[in-house]
Structure 1
Amino acid sequence: MEAQNQQLIDSVRFNCNLADARHAGNYTMCIYLLKMREFFRWEAGYELTDSLPREEIGRWLGEREALWESLDDEEFRPLRVEGRSFDPFAAHDINQRLLDHNLVYGAGIGPGGRPLFFLADLEQVEIHSDYRILVCGREYARDLTAPAAMAQGQTIYVRSQSLRRMLWEKIEQWRWSRADNAMGKAIACYDFETDEVTSLDQMAERETQSVIWHEIGEVMVTEQVGPAWAERILALPRCRAELQMRAVRDNLADCLSTLPRLISDGHEASLHFYFGSLDGFRRELSPTLVNAYDGWCHHGDLGALETVVAAGADHWLALIREVLTLPGVDGQPDASAIEELISSKVL
């Protein structure tokens, strides 16, 4: 299987590079450079705490951009597994053949219609109720985006390397200001000042559960509203309405699954981390939730937060159903109408 594995790794890496070539330009320059820096760290094998050599990064960046330019006329390659050829998006069929070899493959469509691919070691398989959780370890192929988790049907992928990297980036960002905010409170629950490695391990273990609960929440959203919401998002160009729709889905998923579990299990560190990570439209649309969190921090009473979360589950579901009734324009979703409606439904 080793020769086949290398062929598979090469094919997945090719598809990752092609996805990056087509979509890396969608980032702002600042975000692009930050993502490329961390992509280099992963590919070159540097630890999260290592300083990176600037000259080496510069050479690598030029080489990678030249590689992307050479892929202008290419198409995604099929993947060969056990002598059979598969569409690169047929993750379920591919994994039926890979999991016995302790490998896991992921493929999907992210924000802005961006294809996502990865290939990793399979560390663990967990069953949560009706959901199968595939916990991924070392990654052999990935693209620039590399989300920490994603759900497809009843299967949830958790990418441990990506999760640790995301956590470390948030810790480093907080250290620039050391503000007395939710992220600072989350970090204070660990001993990062004297033992970064152990503290990061502990945080990653806790936040793995949080991302699992969020992905379960996303599956629950699909179960309640069907595929129409995801289809509507994919039909939109990259715009405010698309980002708002993603935020509404995330907020509903968290009110259905993530936040009830964090509250009932008493995960103070994870609650702080959740609100420290709540940003963009997710935060803009949820001022009452943020106020309830602030109240808990000051008074130690989770009652108000529980009430807002329960109300949020009804509110966001009703909003999704209302958006889905909006008429389209020339066969496409009306982005202006969607933006106006969602903006008027702040909770």
Structure 2
Amino acid sequence: MLNLGQLVNAVQKNCHISDARHAGDFTLCIFLLKMREFYRWEHDIPFASELPKSEVGTWLQEREGLWSDLESSAFEPLPLETGHLDPFDAETVNRELIHRGYVYSGGYGRFSKPHFFLGTLLKKEQRDGHTIYISSCEYARDLEAPPAMLQGKTIYIRQESVRRFVWEKIEEWRWNRKNEAMERALACYAFEIDMNSALERMTENETEAMILHELGEGRAGEKLGAEWQKMLATFSRSKAEIMVRAVRDILADCLSTLPGLLSSNNFASLHFYFANFTGMRKHLFPEAMEAYRRWATTDDLQPLQALVESGQRRWLETARTIMSLYREHGDQAAIEKLLEPAADSEPPICVPPKAASRS
């Protein structure tokens, strides 16, 4: 018989080990914001409620102490009926969990950080050759909880994390209301009438947008092949990694996310997409924001549609050129020189040190 409590504890311990090794990947400001929201999740505090500052401070110190104890620990195998399984073998783990109404994921994200989560299975569907698992309540998670991840032909959408991601973006906008795209997105949901209902509708909408993006990642992967991931590992924890990931993100969005949102007239998600079109993506592809502004001010979708069509060719060619440079020069490939001409200004960048620690 499955002992859910033991499984939750094992997954959460692996989350703590991962966090202990990678907490230094964040700037101090981002780290503190993520810790606040992690505290909110652990203590099941509603989004609109204030956090108790003194309690959060004490908890943060205790958590950093726990990380210090666990940083050198190995990841634990997961206790299941068939035995103890590799925490990165999500496919085998899920063979035991899916029919019981649970879903698990273990894989690698940005800067090669391991991510683990265990949650309640809300829905399973097949689309475009991919199996999509959508979870609701999360029993175990790490500090950075990616709302969506693609692993092979499996897409994991964590709806609780989607909701938190959306809420955090709303909070950011409330602090600094200069993001007109975000203002337009929120206006589609009538938050001023019923905040909770509006948040749920927005979460559902952005769940679909994230599925579209991960399907685009899958299509991009088919076009680029397994060599892309090997190249990413070579550039780990560098400016080149951030730039290369942004190229693939843009390609995925031109292949799937933006065509899907445009064809369904999902204007609310289009506004939200461009409200969060920031950082390296915006630096490499400033034309996208110009096309969005044209639509937002004139209701003319043609510039966006044209941008998507040309973007599919442009960013696939760019990605293949990057791989060609990598084959020829390895980790000495001049990726930054290739991509910098896409914009005139210095990109917003934050690359963690090779060995990061907060102790």
Question: TM-score surpassing 0.5?
Answer: yes
Output the amino acid matched with 2:100.
Answer: H
Q: Does the CA-based 8 Å contact 1:236-1:332 persist in structure 2?
A: no
Distance in 2 (CA, whole Å) between partners of 1:151 and 1:242 is 18
Tell me which residue corresponds to 1:72: 71
> What stretches of structure 1 move > 3 A for 4+ residues in a row?
none
Give 3-state SS (helix, strand or coil) of 1:123's partner: strand
Deviation at 1:179? 2.5
Q: How far did 1:202 drift?
A: 0.6
2:38 counterpart SS class = helix
Secondary structure of 2:139's partner?
strand
User: Contact (CA 8 Å) 1:328, 1:334: kept in 2 or not?
Assistant: no
Residue identity in the other structure for 1:147: P
User: Per-residue CA shift, 1:179-231, capped at 9, x if unaligned?
Assistant: 25111110111111221100000100111100000000001011111111222
Residue in 2 that maps onto 1:333:
331
Unaligned residue ranges in structure 1 (runs of 5+): none
Corresponding letter in the other structure for 1:340: K
Looking at structure 1, the residues matched to 72 and 259 of structure 2 have their Cα atoms a distance apart, in angstroms, of: 48
Partner of 1:202: 201
Letter in 1 for 2:107: G
Instruction: Tell which deviates more after alignment, 233-242 or 131-140.
Output: 233-242
Shift of 1:83: 3.2
Q: Per-residue deviation at 1:97?
A: 1.1
Alignment of 1:1-347 (within 5 A): 1=1, 4-179=3-178, 181-327=180-326, 332-334=330-332, 337-345=334-342
Unaligned runs of 5+ in 2: 345-359
- What secondary structure does 1:326 align onto? helix
Deviations along 1:56-77, whole A, 9 cap, x unmatched? 1111111111000111331001
1:22 & 1:226 partners in 2: Cα distance?
A: 30
* TM-fit CA distance, 1:327: 4.5
> For residues 134-175 of structure 1, what are the alpha-carbon distances to aligned partners after superposition, in whole Å with 9 as ceiling and x for unaligned?
010111100011001001122111001111001001001111
Q: Given that residues 19 and 116 in structure 1 are in contact (C-alpha distance below 8 angstroms), is that contact kept between their aligned partners in structure 2?
A: yes
Output the CA distance in 1 between the equivalents of 2:33 and 2:191: 23
Identify the range of structure 1 (66-75 vs 99-108) with the bigger mean alpha-carbon deviation: 66-75
CA-based RMSD: 1.5
- Could you tell me how far apart the structure 1 residues matched to 2:198 and 2:82 are? 44
Could you tell me how far 1:6 is from its partner in structure 2? 1.1
Deviation at 1:127, TM superposition (A): 1.9
Q: Taking structure 1 as reference, are residues 167 and 327 closer, same or farther at Cα in structure 2, changes over 3 Å only? A: closer
Residue 348 of structure 2 corresponds to which residue in structure 1? none
Aligned partners of 2:285 and 2:342 also within 8 Å? no
SS of the counterpart of 1:107?
Answer: strand
If the length of structure 1 is used for normalisation, what is the TM-score? 0.96
Equivalent-residue separation in structure 1 for 2:300 and 2:217 (angstroms): 28
Q: Which digits, 9 at most, give the CA deviation of each residue in 1:72-102, with x for residues without a partner?
A: 3310011121132211100011111110111
Aligned length: 344
Q: Distance in 2 between matches of 1:327 and 1:260?
A: 30
- Percent identity over the alignment is 45
One-letter amino acid matched to 1:334: Q
Q: 1:66 to 1:36 in 2, by over 3 A?
A: same
Q: CA deviation at 1:328?
A: 6.3
Letter in 2 for 1:243: I
Counterparts of 1:14 and 1:143, CA distance in 2: 9
Q: CA contact under 8 A between 2:179 and 2:275: conserved in structure 1?
A: no
How far, CA to CA, are the matches of 2:259 and 2:144 in structure 1? Answer: 29
Separation in structure 1 between the aligned mates of residue 46 and residue 293 of structure 2, nearest angstrom: 35
Gap change, CA 1:298 and 1:120, over 3 Å in 2: same
Is 2:173–2:179's contact at 8 Å kept on the other side of the alignment? no
- Contact kept? 1:319, 1:345, Cα under 8 Å: no
1:277-307 CA distances to partner (integer Å, 9 max, x unpaired)?
1111111111111111111111111111111
Moved more, 107-116 or 128-137: 128-137
CA displacement at 1:238 relative to structure 2 = 1.4
- C-alpha distance in 1, partners of 2:30/2:21? 16
For the residues of structure 1 that align with 2:239 and 2:41, how far apart are their CA atoms?
31
Deviation at 1:345, TM superposition (A): 4.2
